[in-house]
Amino acid sequence: MPLIRDGKIVEDIWVSLDDEAELPEQGDVILSLDRLKKEANAIQTRSGRTGVVLENDVDEEDVETYLPHIELIALTFPAFTDGRAYSQARQLRTKLGFEGELRATGNVLADQATFLCRVGFDSFEVDNDQSIDVWNKALRSMSVAYQRGYDGEQATRESGPLSQDKAHTSLA
Amino acid sequence: MYRYDEFDATFVSERVDQFRDQVARRVKGDLTEEQFRPLRLMNGLYLQLHAYMLRVAVPYGTLNSKQMHKLAYIADKFDRGYGHFTTRQNIQYNWPKLPDVPDILEHLAEVEMHAIQTSGNCIRNVTADQWSGVAADEVEDPRPYAELMRQWSSLHPEFSFLPRKFKIAVTGDKADRAAIAYHDIGLRLKKNAAGEVGFEIFVGGGMGRTPMIAARVRDWLPKSELLGYLEAVMRVYNLNGRRDNKYKARIKILVHELGAEEFTRQVEEEYARLDAPQGLPSDQELERIAAYFAPPAYEDLAENDAVHTQHLVDNKDFAEWVERNVAPHKITGYAIVNISLKPVGGVPGDATSGQMHAIADMAEKMSLDEIRVTHEQNLVLPNVRKHDLFAVWQELKEHKLADANLGLATDIISCPGLDYCGLATARSIPISQDISIRLGDIKRQRDIGDLKIKISGCINACGHHHAGHIGILGLEKRGVEYYQITLGGSGDETASIGQIIGPGFSSETVTDAVETIVDTYMDLRKSGETFLEAYRRVGAEPFKEAVYATH
Ligand code: HEM
Ligand code: SF4
């Protein structure tokens, strides 16, 4: 699965750690929520960064206490029509103030790109057969958006005069 | 009426380009049908029994003449010369070809229309009272808020992949002509004790296989906070609505499983927490939208018009049409004309391109350029001077649109059923035609009085049968269609769910059964009592006895 960040395919330096595997002292690892809870102390002292996968049926408040020690949260789309992770992302960013990397995983398609960015995702494990060009084109397809208070490059009514190129330049 | 500014125009035209690209990728094979499906659905494109079906949004049911002309043009150029107005104030085209669809959408964009979110598991076209802004007894015109919701719900980043479709209806009147109790969210403008206008909010109504009447979650909310409260409702639903079973995925099931009280608590908790102002439109923006719905240039007219009064005396057919199809207007000297799309024996809600052009012309000349679509599959000319009523009627007659049956037995709602729909278990249009012909004599209809017959071709209840005074549901057993009858449903401010009266009927006998029910009512009614009132007084028993004794 190619990983997209900032409009480019990038190498994934994070390793998903199996629940049985030993927690390494170094390197960036992504844990399950259960494992994270068990390693609550260990993650505070290791030198590598720690991330967690949240399934889309858990309450995002479950990770609240660990947030100071977490630098990546991966949210899952079991099917791209299952939109719970949009609200989870929104809650993590606004209610819980999470500022680390929010990664979209699972069935992630280019056609979701603008939605994902606007609720606060910033990295994307996309389906293999979707090229970076398709992704970037999709991301640029809408230059305006109606909803206030969400992120993204799109102009909203309150953000002043229309700037058609806003989305384009920032991705160039 | 709302007009697009540069912002709206950009939004819709970029959306057309986006869909053009998606169609191209589908045609090329870069998208599988499975991947394409949710994308086309968010643009109102269904794959039906015989062809694609395109559903075009008529936001809160309001059209101008240019838009209606365009709908007619599309019917001619891309379809078979007609369109079908639906219970959700949309219009459906039954025969478009996939490669043509982006062009159709481009034509629509030219007249500030689109098909965005007329299907799919997202927030659908917001519907409203068809008499909004003109009804004599309205609290306030709800359309500025309907427009605000149209914008807010369009490509919502958080709420576009919901557990299931989501329907919002709004009314500005005590009398409910928008069936708000049967919607996922129903909104009613009302005054609080201090005389300020705000929203009363209902959540969790719906039809389908589990009909439910919405529960009230808020008695009064300041108008300006609407989007914040909706966000709270949507988030609770998006996170907690069931996704394991599509028949249990609507918000009504969540409200039911949690209980209205607990659901309300969760919504209120979420709402209290929201950084509300961030998501709310500015006052200027609300005013900008509201300005578009300022009353049109009404003339200063007298209450009565001598010419009109004379026509009423001279022409009985005209007088009867006025009595049934014309409603009182807010503004002195004006009237609301309801155009029946239910000719006896016709297809409910269908209009030919010729009829659409004619209605558009009439609207331009005699209704201050406005047309409305109703959830009962009829059309409205909302701003007609009483002086012009006779001319409008004559014109309507010429186009076979002057049936004086609004709200009567032949004003039937029917879904497309097995004639078009891939999910149908039975035909519904032919049954509605049969009943319409049987009860078609206008004298008899007038004698029967207010009666709502509603027919669906399967359990999904697109034909609102649960809300029919007489509801008919087409089912199928071992390859044979049969029809279940419910009585006592209502979609108005006294909303109730119809109750099944017993075993179903064959397609040959269902019309007889309906006629027997109607005759039974005629025998037992008290003076001035409507069908629904009589049913509520006597219950189902007398009707059951009559129907099952004779069949
Ligand atoms: C022809 C293609 C159509 C298809 C495939 C279709 C599909 C469906 C389905 C699956 C449901 C059940 C949803 C649920 O219970 O969760 C439904 C409900 C509904 N549909 Fe349709 N429908 C079609 C046409 C129409 C038409 C023509 C109208 C308007 C006349 C309409 C209006 C409605 C309404 C009002 C409901 C019930 C209200 C609700 O609970 O959502 N549909 N439709
Ligand atoms: S009620 Fe059933 S048959 Fe009728 S349109 Fe809806 S899905 Fe089709």
Task: Give the mutation target among B460, B464, B466 for probing the ligand 2 site: most ligand atoms within 8 A of CB.
Answer: B460
- How far is residue A135's CA from residue A5's CA, in Å, rounded to a whole number? 11
**Contact with chain A for residue B51, Cβ under 8 A:** no
Residue B417, Ramachandran bin (φ over 0: left; ψ between -120 and 50: alpha; else beta): left
Tokens of B261: 């009280």
Distance CA B254, CA B400 (A): 46
Q: Structural domains in chain B?
A: 6-110 (3.90.480.20), 134-291 (3.30.413.10), 306-398 (3.90.480.20), 413-550 (3.30.413.10)
pLDDT confidence of residue B551: 52
Whether ligand 2 lies within 6 angstroms of the CB of B343 is answered as: no
Picking from B64, B30, B16, B36, the residue whose alpha carbon sits closest to that of residue B296 is B64
Three-state SS sequence of B25-89: HHHHCCCCHHHHHHHHHCCCEEECCCCEEEEECCHHHEEEHHHHHHHHHHHHHHCCCEEEECCCC
Contact partners, residue B119, CB within 8 Å, separation at least 6: B41, B42, B44, B45, B46, B55, B165
What pLDDT score does B50 carry? 74
pLDDT reported for residue B276: 59
Say what the ipTM of the complex is: 0.91
Pocket test for ligand 2, best of B87, B90, B423, B475 (most atoms within 8 A of CB): B423
Contact B60, B128 (CB under 8 A): yes
Res A160: pLDDT = 57
Cβ of B215 below 6 Å from ligand 1: no
- Strand ranges (DSSP E) for B285-353? 326-328, 334-339, 350-352
| AA identity, residue B24 | A
Nearest residue to B184 via CA among B200, B172, B201, B160: B201
- Contact partners, residue B245, CB within 8 Å, separation at least 6: none
Contact residues for A94 (Cβ-Cβ < 8 A; gap 6+)? B275
d(C-alpha A105, C-alpha A127), whole Å: 9
Looking at ligand 2, which atom is closest to the CA of residue B425?
Answer: 3
Q: How far apart are CA B421 and CA B6, in angstroms?
A: 38
> Residue A168 has what pLDDT?
32
pLDDT at site A172: 26
Indicate left, alpha or beta for B407 from its phi (over 0: left) and psi (-120 to 50: alpha).
left
Reading the block at residue B514, the tokens are 């309906």
The rounded Å distance from CA B461 to ligand 1 centre is 6
- Which tokens hold the place of B229? 């409260």
pLDDT at A152: 83
Residue A148 has pLDDT above 80, yes or no: yes
Burial of A38 (0-12, 13-18, 19+ CB in 10 A): middle
User: Are the beta carbons of A157 and B285 closer than 8 angstroms?
Assistant: yes
Is B416's C-beta closer than 6 angstroms to any atom of ligand 1? yes
Buried b (16+ CB within 10 A) or exposed e, B237-265: bbbbbbbeeeebbbbbbbbbebebeebbe
Contact check, Cβ <8 Å, B239/A82: no
Confidence band, pLDDT 50/70/90 cuts, at residue A169: very low
- pLDDT at position A165: 43
d(CA B212, CA B210) in angstroms, rounded, equals 6
Low-confidence ranges of chain B (pLDDT < 50): none
Q: How far is the CA of B292 from the centre of ligand 1 (A)?
A: 31
d(CA B183, CA B502): 27
Q: Which residues of A touch B (CB under 8 A)?
A: 80-84, 86-88, 90-91, 94-95, 109, 111, 114-116, 118-119, 137-138, 141-150, 152, 155, 157-158, 162, 164
Are residues B408 and B366 in contact, defined by beta-carbon separation less than 8 angstroms?
Answer: no
pLDDT band at A76 (very low <50, low <70, confident <90, very high): very high
Residue B160 C-alpha, separation from nearest chain A C-alpha, in angstroms = 7
Q: What percent of the residues of chain B are helix, what percent strand, and what percent coil, each to the nearest 5?
A: 45, 20, 40
**All structural domains of chain A:** 3-141 (3.20.20.70), 144-172 (no CATH)
How far is residue B32's CA from residue B42's CA, in Å, rounded to a whole number? 16
| DSSP 8-state secondary structure symbol assigned to residue B526 | P
Which of A104-108, A133-137, B357-361 comes out lowest in average pLDDT? A133-137
The model's confidence at residue A171, banded by pLDDT at 50, 70 and 90, is very low
Residue B128's SS3 state is strand
Residue whose token pair is 């018009």 = B305
Q: What is the pLDDT of residue B444?
A: 97
**Residue to mutate, B93, B183, B203, B462, ligand 1, most ligand atoms under 8 Å from C-beta:** B462
d(Cα B117, Cα B105) in Å, to the nearest integer?
13
- Sort out which chain B residues have CB atoms less than 8 A from A144's CB and list them: 7, 10-11, 14
Secondary structure letter of residue B213 according to DSSP: P
- Give how far Cα B549 sits from Cα of B322, B499, B516, Å: 39, 19, 10
The CA-CA-CA angle for residues B15, B132, B158, to 5°, reads 35
Provide, as residue numbers in chain A, all residues whose Cβ is less than 8 Å from the Cβ of B152: 146-147
Compute the distance between CA of residue B13 and CA of residue B20 in angstroms, rounded to an integer.
10
3-state SS, one letter per residue, for B418-476: HHCCCCCCCCCHHHHHHHHHHCCCHHHHHHHCCCCEEEECCCCCCCCHHHCCEEEEEEE
Q: B338 has which bridge partners?
A: B380
The pTM score is 0.93
Q: Both tokens of residue B64?
A: 């101008």
Question: Please, what is the average pLDDT of chain B?
Answer: 95
Both tokens assigned to A110:
């280019």
- Give how far A29 is from chain B: nearest CA, Å: 27
